[in-house]
Amino acid sequence: MADSSELRQRAGEYFRRAYEHQQKGEYEEAIELYSHSIEAFPTAEAYTFRGWAHSFQSNYRQAIADCRQAIKIDPEFGNPYNDIGAYLIEEGQWDAAIPWFKKALAAARYESYCFPHFNLGRVYEQKREWGKAREHYLHALQLNGQYVLAYRALRRLQAMWN
């Protein structure tokens, strides 16, 4: 039987291969390899990325289920919270997405806080709450000055006011 470090190493190799397939648009292969990674050593990242692969197939129900599993493994990992919110938006559940983006912003382990800010901006823009939308788009740009989608969204709001 393999020890923990061997299982982690095997899981990591499956994860790397899955990500390569996902980047090529080979989602079935990616999902299969993420599943092997999870079987070898379950991580929040593997569940989150498998969910992301499911989302590219518009399988938001499974994507959300995977993100919920990721949260069970590591509640401090911010990505699955943001992703659940994004999948809810795709399903037209704008209001239901808000608490998920706020949880992403509160997560201790997250490298891209600009994404939940941008997504909250999208929600508030859709709800015609222009001031809140502007605030979140600005936060997204402050966190990542190269975030083109946030810049365009902010410009779109400014054009509406002129």
pLDDT in tens, 77-91: 999 999 999 999 999
Which structural domain, as residue segments, surrounds residue 25? Answer: 1-84
Ramachandran sector of residue 146 (left: φ over 0; alpha: ψ -120 to 50; beta: rest): alpha
CA terminus-to-terminus distance, the chain: 68
* pLDDT tops 90 at residue 140: yes
| 12 inside domain | yes
pLDDT of 1 higher than 70? no
Is 138 a domain residue? no
Q: Which residue has the higher pLDDT, 4 or 1?
A: 4
Looking up residue 69, the CATH number of its domain turns out to be 1.25.40.10
Q: Give a yes or no: residue 91 inside a domain.
A: no
Let me know if residue 40 belongs to a domain: yes
- Which residues have C-beta within 8 Å of that of residue 109, sequence separation ≥ 6? 74, 76, 77, 78
**pLDDT tens figures, 65-76:** 999 999 999 999
Grouping H, G, I as helix, E, B as strand and the rest as coil, residue 109 is: strand
- Count of structural domains, the chain: 1
Please tell me the pTM assigned to this model: 0.93
pLDDT surpassing 80 at residue 96: yes
- Taking only the tens place, the pLDDT of each residue in 32-52 is 999 999 999 999 999 999 999
Is 71 within a domain?
yes
130 within a domain of the structure (yes/no): no
- Reported in sequence order, the residue ranges of the chain that DSSP labels E, i.e. its strands, are none
50 in a domain, yes or no? yes
Residue 112 domain-assigned?
no
